[in-house]
Chains A and B, each alone.
Chain A
Amino acid sequence: MKLHEYQSKAIFAKYGIPIPKGTIAENAEAARQVASQLGKKVVIKSQVLVGGRGKAGGIKVAATPDDAETIADQILGMTIKGLPVRKVLVDEAINIAREIYLGVVVDRATRRATMMGSAAGGVEIEEVARVSPEKIIRVAIDPAFGLQDYQARELAFAIGIDKANVREFTAIATGLYRAFVDVDASLAEINPLVVTGEGKLIAADGKIVLDDNALYRHLDLEQLRDVDEESSEEQQARKAGLSYVKLDGNIGCMVNGAGLAMATMDVIKFYGGEPANFLDIGGGAKADKVKIALEIILSDPNVKAVLFNIFGGITRGDEVARGIVEGLKGVKTNVPMVARIVGTNAEEGRKILANANMLTAETLEEGAQKAVAAARGQV
C-alpha cells in the first residue's frame, strides 16, 4: 500500500526529519488560506499515487495567496495518469541549492534493508540506476543493530555532503531507517533531500510504500489508504481475499495459485489470445469465492470468454467442479466458460461441468486454445 507525499512526510517529521511547513488542502479556498498563513511563496503539489507529477503539471509555485487559489483550482481539476487529483499539499517554497536522493529498500539478494544515497537527487532513482548506476551508493543494514552513525557518515562523504551538514545528514538517515522499520515499509525515500541556500537539509518530497503483509499491526496506517489506488474491482477482490490485477485482453482467468495464474495468462498469449486479468482464488474452488471472482471478471465489458484453471491436488476434481457450478448459479451471463480441472476424480468433475454447459479441457494448453477460440466466437 502506497502512502501520499503528505502522509509520508508527516511520518518522517515524527522521526526528527525536517520537512517544509505546509498543510493539505481539498479546495482552492483552503489552499489560499494556507498560503496566506504561511505568508510567503508556496508550492502547490498534487497528491496522487504516481510518479512524474511535476512533468504532468501537477506541481507549481505560487507567489501570492491569489495565485495559490488559482493554481490549486487548476490542479484540483486535473487527472494525472488516470488518477483524479483530490488533494493538494501547500508547502512553503524552499531555496534549493542542491538535491540529493536518500532511500531505504528491501534488498532481496542480501536479505537486508539497504540504504541508498545519490548526489543525483530530484530524478527517479530507477532512472539514475539505469543511466549512471555508479552514482548510487549502497549501505546494507544489519537488522539486529540498525543503521549505525558511521554508515550514515560513509554515505554522506561518498555523495559529497558538505562537512557542515554531516551531523544533520546522519540524524536524517538514521531517522529514515527507524521510520522504515517501525511502519513496516518496503520502501521509504526522500527525493529530493534538499540542501537549502541557507545551508540546511530538508525533505522536500517523500514516499513510503507499506508492506501489505504487515498492515495487520498498523491499523492506523491502513486507514490512510487512498481509494483511488485501486479500481473498485481490485478493492472488492482484496476484501474477498482474492488477488486480482486487471489487464487489457478479453479472456478472463480464474486460477488457483499465483504462479499457475501467471502461467495460464502466458499460455493464453502463446495461443494468440490476450488475458483480461490475473486472478488467484486460492485453495480449492469454493462456491462463494467462485461467485465473487466471476462477478469481478465479468464486470469488465471486454471479457468475451472465461478460462477456469484449477489444479485440485488434494481437493477432489468433482468437488472443485461442484464448487464452480454452484458459484455460476448466482451469476447471469452469456459469456462462454472453459474449465480445466486436475485432481482425483477429474473425469467426473468434467462431466459435472459439461452438464452445466461449460466447455472442458484436460490440459492447460487445450483449455487455453478453447478459450481463445471461444473469445473469437468460434465455439
Chain B
Amino acid sequence: MSILIDKKTKLIVQGITGREGEFHARQMIEYGTQVVGGMTPGRGGETALGVPVFDTMEQAVAKTGANASVIYVPARGAADAILEAADAGIALVVCITEGVPVVDMMRVARRLAETGTRLIGPNCPGLISPGKSKVGIIPGNICKPGPVGLVSRSGTLTYEVIHALSQRKIGQSTCVGIGGDPVHGLGYIETLELFDADPQTKIIALIGEIGGTDEEKAAEYIKKKMTKPVVAFVAGQTAPPGKRMGHAGAIIEGGTGTAAEKIAAFKRAGVPVARFPGEVAELIAAKLATKSKSRSVAKKKK
C-alpha cells in the first residue's frame, strides 16, 4: 500500500506542452506513472510524449477516466487550472507552480471545500509512492520502497531526507511535499491520518519549517491520535524574525512561527526532533531497530 497515489492513479498533466510540463511528464512516464493525457488550451487533438492532449479538463476526464492531475502552468493561471480540474471531477490535484497569489488561493480553498477535491500544493514538489507512481518533480532515483511515510513543506530539503534514508537502505511508502505557501491544500494532519491508516507505513518523518502554527497543531494531533511513531525536523532555527525565507509561508511574524516553538511542541508531544536533516534518518533507523527487536522478542515468547 501507499497513500494518495499508486499504480492505479491515472494522471493528466496540465501544461504538458510547456517546458517544465513536458520535462517532468517525461520523467513521470519513465518512472512508471500512468500518464493518460495532457491538457493545454488550444492544443487539443495533438499528441505529446505519446499521450493525447486536450483543450479542457472536462474533455480530458471524459476521454481518459483520469482521477488525478498535476499542474505546471504559470502562477497567473494556476488557480484557474486548479478550479478547472476540480470542476471536471478530478479527485486529487497536485499544483507544483510557485508564486500563486494568496487571494486566489483563499478563493480556491473555499471552492474545493464544496467539490471535495483534494489539493496538494501549490509551491510544492508533489508526491511519490516509490516503485509505484510519482506525481510532481521529486527525483525518482533517490527513493526506494519501504516503511517510512514522509510529509514536508519543502522541496529539496525533502530530497535530502529521502536521500539520507535511502542511503541507510530505509525505503519510503509515500513522500508528500505539501508546499511552502501560507494557504495551501492538504496539511500535515490529513497526511498523518492517511499514514496512520496505511498498512505499509510503519513510521513517519515530518519535515517542518518556520511560519504559521501548522507544526504545533500537528504535534497536538500526534499526541492525541497517532498510533505510529513520528520523527520531526524543523528548518529555520537560525532564521531572523520578519524576513521571508524563500517560501511565501516561511516567515516569523509577530513573534509566532519560530522553530523553537515548533520544536518545543514536538518534544511535548513525545516526538523526537532531529538537529539536522541527516539525523532524521538516524532517529528512524534507531526506532525501526527497536521495533523489530521487540517484535522478535515477542515471537520468542510465543
Contact = CB atoms under 8 A, between A and B. Distances in A.
B150 to A, nearest CB: 13
B248 A256 contact: no
Contacts of A106: 102, 106, 182-183
B243 A245 contact: yes
B245 A216 contact: no
A23 interface: no
B278 A364 contact: yes
Nearest to A256: B156
Interface stretch (A30-38, A56-64, A266-274): A266-274
Given A243-B246, A262-B245, A109 B213 contact: yes
B139 A108 contact: no
B101 A259 contact: no
Interface residues of A, number: 51
B86 interface: no
A267 B276 contact: yes
A111 B250 contact: no
Contacts of A344: 141
A204 to B, nearest CB: 21
Contacts of B101: 184, 211, 213-214, 217
B240 interface: yes
A46 B212 CA distance: 31
Contacts of B110: 111-112, 142-144
Contact of B278 (A112, A211, A365): A365
Interface string B193-214: 0000000000000010110111
B154 A130 contact: no
A344 B163 CA distance: 12
Contacts of A181: 103
Tell which of A112, A263, A364 has the most Cβ of chain B within 10 Å. A263
Contact of A280 (B111, B163, B246, B249): B246
Contacts of B235: 259-260, 262-263, 266
B156 A143 contact: no
A186 interface: yes
A265 B238 contact: yes
Given A243-B246, A245-B245, A278-B245, A262 B239 contact: yes
Contacts of A267: 276-277
B159 interface: yes
A259 B209 contact: yes
A112 B108 CA distance: 11
B156 A313 contact: yes
B245 A311 contact: no
B105 to A, nearest CB: 7
B247 interface: yes
A129 interface: yes
A108 B243 contact: no
A379 interface: no
A154 B153 CA distance: 36
Interface residues of B, number: 62
A123 interface: no
Interface string B147-175: 00000111111111001000000000000
Interface string B76-108: 100000000000000000000001111111110
B157 A263 contact: yes
A245 B239 CA distance: 9
B106 A111 contact: yes
B103 to A, nearest CB: 5
Interface in A347-379: 363-365
B4 interface: no
A269 B27 CA distance: 36
Given A143-B106, A143-B107, A181-B103, A258 B240 contact: no
Interface string B32-65: 0000000000000000000000000000000000
A275 interface: yes
Contact of B212 (A108, A129, A311): A108
A260 B209 CA distance: 10
A311 B236 contact: no
Given A245-B245, A257-B157, A266 B236 contact: yes
Given A106-B102, A108-B182, A314-B137, A262 B210 contact: yes
B248 A108 contact: no
Given A142-B110, A269-B238, A259 B275 contact: no
Contacts of A214: 101-104
A259 B106 contact: no
Contact of A364 (B27, B180, B207, B276): B276
A255 to B, nearest CB: 8
25 contacts: A113-B106, A144-B110, A144-B111, A213-B75, A213-B101, A214-B102, A216-B75, A243-B244, A257-B155, A257-B156, A257-B157, A258-B154, A259-B154, A260-B157, A260-B160, A262-B238, A265-B236, A266-B259, A267-B277, A268-B238, A278-B243, A278-B246, A311-B163, A313-B137, A342-B160
A-B pairs, 8 with minimum CB distance: A259-B154, A258-B246, A257-B156, A259-B157, A126-B254, A214-B101, A313-B139, A262-B235
Given A111-B106, A259-B152, 10 more contacts: A111-B183, A112-B106, A113-B103, A247-B240, A255-B156, A258-B246, A261-B245, A262-B209, A262-B250, A263-B235
